[in-house]
Amino acid sequence: MDLVRSGFTDDASGYSISQIFVALRPGVETVPGFRTRLLQNNGNQQQQAVNHLFEAYFYN
């Protein structure tokens, strides 16, 4: 079971599976590093929603 903050609603949208996997290329070794790469590769699309998603899973 995933530990997620109580009352969290995932509002992040607009990312394809391909965009997510491209962000996991070599050089990404941490979850925050993945978040940064995902946002950078996609023009910070949905930045606030993506940050809230990672915070909800305690990856601040």
The ranges assigned to domains in the chain are 17-56
pTM of the predicted protein model: 0.85
- Length of the chain equals 60
Residue pLDDT tens, the chain, 60 long: 567 788 888 889 999 999 999 999 999 999 999 999 999 999 999 999 999 999 998 887
Q: Token pair for residue 56?
A: 């909800």
| Per-residue b or e along 31-55, where b marks 16 or more CB atoms closer than 10 Å to that residue's CB | eeebbebbbeebeeebeeebbbbbe
